[in-house]
Structure 1
Amino acid sequence: MNKVFLIGRLTKDPELKFTPGSGTAVTTLTLAVDKYNTATKQREADFIPVVVWGKQAESVANYMSKGSQMAIGGRIQTRSYEAKDGSKRYVTEVVANEVEFLSKGNGNHQASSDFGGSSEYGASSNNSFGGSNFDEDMTPVDDGDIPF
């Protein structure tokens, strides 16, 4: 099974492009996802490259901006290509097929929801999802207490 669900903030404005020929919209972005380092007892972040296709790609580019919080659901994809210098490069990224805007993006647009076809949690300006505020400190879990 290849399924990924992430909640994080955009590290910069999303980049919208269109494929040659078919003109399909594709948006690339980097999501900063919080994590807790039990060794240093510090909050850190992983920076995850994400690709969004089609109408959702256009919505992300139009309504989200640097610092906006969003949730994505999708799959991990690995691919390779040849760089200009002739070397082979490998890329691992998340291809999103579900997107939820959790905070407002640029302008005065109202954020919308495409995550799971439901707007139950909708977008809000207080950066909350289901009543939980992700900006609050969380209690760390000691990995030694998990039975699996």
Structure 2
Amino acid sequence: MSDRPYTEDDLRTEAARQYAEVLRSPDWLEVQGEMQGTPIPSTTTGQVVRWHELPGDDYHDAVNAVQELLEDAPDLSRWAVDLGACCLTKTTNLAWGHGDNWALAVQIAHRRGVDDELHTALVDAVRAAVRSILTDRGIDNPELPQQQAEEAVS
């Protein structure tokens, strides 16, 4: 028993609450401030363009769109906090659907240093399990093609 008046779970719950609070109600000015000097990712191969350099109302439209995306994002805050607390820092995303319109997503998290062969075997096993379930349920159709797994990232 700890001599502290709180538990590890209390700390994780509070960290998740604070993390979620940021996503639940993003302030337009905060989103704008975060985006302002940041390069637009698709422009980094040529001339770098920063969000605030967009012409006309394009910047404000982009800020509004990002704010909407944040508001619609599912609350995975406790999951994210628990991953960090367990030192699980690498993830691999698997998604089924068309392009950016996913119907199903699975994310695999693991510690740094996991053997590449083990990682590949785990990802392949999850992919095969999901595919098997979809096929068994008659959902093996062109509407749910599996997207390429992303590289493991921290």
Query: Larger radius of gyration, structure 1 or 2?
Result: 2
TM above 0.5, yes or no, is no
TM-score of the two chains, using structure 2 as the length reference? 0.22
Task: Please identify which structure carries the higher strand content.
Answer: 1
